[in-house]
Amino acid sequence: KAGVTQTPRYLIKTRGQQVTLSCSPISGHRSVSWYQQTPGQGLQFLFEYFSETQRNKGNFPGRFSGRQFSNSRSEMNVSTLELGDSALYLCASSSVEGLYEQYFGPGTRLTVT
């Protein structure tokens, strides 16, 4: 099976702009979670989607949003970008059977200037 894919891999944006990141889960996986990784904070949970519904949300401002499509592909959007949003954004998918184990994509490196 192909792994989790994320596009784009690298992105440079300017403060105030918005950005959309994409994630395609492993075939058959219906749960998609998003994480932000920064050097100081480690991996922090953003939100989780299952069957096009957001099931869980981390402690991030409303500028961070996401959605999931009927084919389980997911997108996350960050509006009004701030310098502090520079991070590696990771997407992970899991199957219904292996709820605990999440499989990660390579991430999207976002740099805000």
State the residues that interact with another protein by CB under 8 A: 4, 31, 33, 35, 41-45, 48, 50, 55-56, 90, 92, 99-107
| Minimum distance, C-beta of residue 48 to another protein, in the bound complex (Å) | 5
Residues 6+ apart with CB under 8 A from 59: 44
CB of 16 to another protein, least distance (A): 28
In this complex, which beta carbon is closest to another protein, that of residue 79 or of residue 88? 88
CA distance 36 to 57: 13
Nearer to another protein, 15 or 55 (CB): 55
Which residue do the tokens 């989790």 mark?
4
The CB-of-31 to another protein minimum distance in angstroms stands at: 8
Question: How many residues belong to the chain?
Answer: 113
Name the residue type at position 5. Answer: T
CB of 15 to another protein, least distance (A): 25
Closest CA to 25 of 45, 44, 42, 50: 50
Amino acid (one-letter) located at 38: T
Nearer to another protein, 90 or 110 (CB): 90
